[in-house]
Structure 1
Amino acid sequence: MAGLNVSLSFFFATFALCQAARRVSKALLPGGVYASFAQEAMRVLVELGPWAGGFGPDLLLTLLFLLFLAHGATCDGATANPTVSLQELLLAEASLPHTLLTLAAQGLGMQAAHTLTRLYWAWELSDLHVLQSLMDAHCSSALHTSVPHGMLVEGACAFFFHLTLLRFRNSLPIYRVPLVALLVTVMAYTAGPFTSAFFNPALATSVTFHCSGHTLLEYTQVYWLGPLTGMVLAVLLYHGRLPRLFQRNLLYSQKNKYRTPRGKLAPGPRDTQTPAEGCRSREPVWRGVGR
């Protein structure tokens, strides 16, 4: 119970620290810098909390659900996920400089989170953290399946995650935030035994890339290429095209917006003539000559 209290304290303290830093950054930094850099760095920092705490699976899933609920309500649209930032670029909703700045912020937040986690373990506030501190240099890989299967798992998780974001992006937060949190929790429970279900390259890089068991290329294929492929397929399926690259719809036929009404045409002036008038109108002109 003492270890659990320490871990929970770390989780909530990290979240409170990041929220305070977010508010200070919002007040001091220009709006564009805050939107694309500071809030992303803060969210990456807090998102590492459950994995840094050394929680059990049940508690981890519960905290993961609560974490996404809190993020959806308080993080001002920050994603802490490179694939979401690249999705905005593909949708032509963000410029290339803005996307690069956001990715740099996510990388900075990842490094800050990793440093904070090691410092937290070094305090050895519980027996579990003593063990984690000792095993940090010899951690085991989060990838417990083959590389092709791992790519498929991470790609499928990213596909459903991004498809849900696209489908419910204009919905009210009271519906969208719990739905996304529930989806992430279910996928973490289902795919967790295979790849830990990160479908977030920044988070996976911080948590498992330094662990032994697989090469850097194998980690990159599973935790970067897999989620990026899933994201691109989700955008392509939802929009039928990649707006940044193609103007023409590649999957769905374009229907004419203005349809021609069906039915009989309204009678014109010539159609309203009586049969007799029609006959008189067709009388040869030469008959009237000379009269």
Structure 2
Amino acid sequence: MSGLNVSIAFFFLVVGVCQVLRRFSKWLLSPGAYGCLARELAGSLQLCTSCLELRMLLEIGPWGGGFGPDVVLTLFFFLFAVHGASFDGASANPTVSLQEFLLLESNLPTTAAKLLAQGAGVGLGWALTKLYWSWELTHFHFIQNLISSECSSSIHTSLHHAAFVEGTCSFFLHLILLRLRQRHLMFRVPVLAATVTFLTYAAGPFTGAFFNPALATATTFHCSGSSFWDYVWVYWLGPFAGMFTALLLHQGNIPRLFQKNLLYSQKSKYKIPKARVEARVEGKKGGQQSKGQKSNAEPHA
């Protein structure tokens, strides 16, 4: 279990360093630059390094460390709960940033800056994790270094099925994100962590369960076994289609593209009680009758 303890210490170190980076950049930068650049870069760096270490444990742990997937999935849940509590509003996911753009919550320059920061964050996270593995602090890392030069594609099913799996994971993730937007952080964080953990467990054997284009690009696009356009189809277009479908189902429209609600009828938010409506109708009838009586009672000239 010493190797597992080293990995847990690595997780705490990464979260601590990224938290210091957030505090320092918030003090140094303007709120706009912090929100679309530094916050997303720190979140993507934290997410990438943690996921790479977790995937290494998931692949090597059962036969190299004697512990099953339940240990890694438990770590996965707690780690994503920590991510949700410490990200400070960052998404670290391009599909979430594109969703905010389609919801008119961010403009094009802000969205582009977030995407660039996310790409830089996962690239930096991948490089730092590779450097950390090269130190071979545990036998897990020693084995990982031996097999990393010949990594294979994470797509273990047909191309269309893989794109469907990634799109379905993205669909459920974004649908829950949309439903929980107004909920308190104490409720939202564990629900999202449980959702991501379940989706990873269910879809992992087929595609690796990334449903994050930036994370997938940094971790699996360089592996042999699938072409670049296969990866684009599965890990970019699949999650984007899932996000788009979830947004359309939740909103009934796409605010950035069209305002007309295609799925739901627009009803009044406030309903008038039936008794009050009947009282108004009777009042109008009574008023009309009194006016008629008054006009009949007037003398003719």
- Asked if structure 1 preserves the Cα contact closer than 8 Å seen for 2:45 and 2:124, the reply is yes
The one of 239, 246, 260 aligned to 1:234:
246
1:63-212 matched pairs, under 5 angstroms: 63-212=75-224
Deviation (angstroms), 1:115:
0.6
> Which moved further from structure 2: 126-135 or 27-36?
126-135
**In percent, how many aligned pairs have the same letter?**
50
Q: Counterpart of 1:39?
A: 39
Q: Counterpart of 1:14?
A: 14
Aligned-pair RMSD on alpha carbons? Answer: 2.3
> Which moved further from structure 2: 123-132 or 193-202?
123-132
CA distance in 2, matches of 1:273, 1:240: 48
CA distance in 1, matches of 2:297, 2:39: 82
State how many pairs are aligned: 283
Q: Counterpart of 1:49?
A: 49
CA change 1:243–1:9 in 2 (3 A) is same
CA distance in 1, matches of 2:143, 2:220: 17
Deviations 1:209-236 (A, max 9, x none): 1111111101111111010000011110
CA distance in 1, matches of 2:257, 2:291: 59
- Asked if structure 2 preserves the Cα contact closer than 8 Å seen for 1:155 and 1:229, the reply is yes
Q: Counterpart of 1:265?
A: 282
> Which moved further from structure 2: 202-211 or 82-91?
202-211
CA distance in 1, matches of 2:80, 2:240: 21
CA distance in 1, matches of 2:145, 2:209: 24
Q: TM (normalized to structure 1)?
A: 0.90
1:214 equivalenced with 2:231 (yes/no): no
Q: Secondary structure at the match of 1:138?
A: coil
- Asked if structure 1 preserves the Cα contact closer than 8 Å seen for 2:41 and 2:118, the reply is yes
Q: Which runs of 5+ in 2 are unaligned?
A: 59-68
CA distance in 1, matches of 2:291, 2:259: 52
Deviation (angstroms), 1:280:
7.0
1:252 equivalenced with 2:264 (yes/no): yes
CA change 1:262–1:47 in 2 (3 A) is same
- Asked if structure 2 preserves the Cα contact closer than 8 Å seen for 1:45 and 1:113, the reply is yes
CA change 1:257–1:117 in 2 (3 A) is closer
Deviation (angstroms), 1:281:
5.4
> Which moved further from structure 2: 162-171 or 130-139?
130-139
Counterpart code for 2:205: P
- Asked if structure 2 preserves the Cα contact closer than 8 Å seen for 1:50 and 1:60, the reply is no
Deviations 1:117-159 (A, max 9, x none): 1101111112221221232221121111111111111111111
Q: Which runs of 5+ in 1 are unaligned?
A: none
Counterpart code for 1:181: A
Deviation (angstroms), 1:195:
1.0
The structure having more radius of gyration, on CA atoms, is: 1
Which of the two has greater helix per residue?
2
Counterpart code for 1:194: F
CA change 1:256–1:16 in 2 (3 A) is closer
Counterpart code for 1:163: L
CA change 1:127–1:270 in 2 (3 A) is closer
- Asked if structure 2 preserves the Cα contact closer than 8 Å seen for 1:83 and 1:231, the reply is yes
CA distance in 2, matches of 1:22, 1:258: 43
Deviations 1:189-222 (A, max 9, x none): 1111111211111111111111111111011111
Deviation (angstroms), 1:269:
5.5
CA distance in 1, matches of 2:112, 2:270: 41
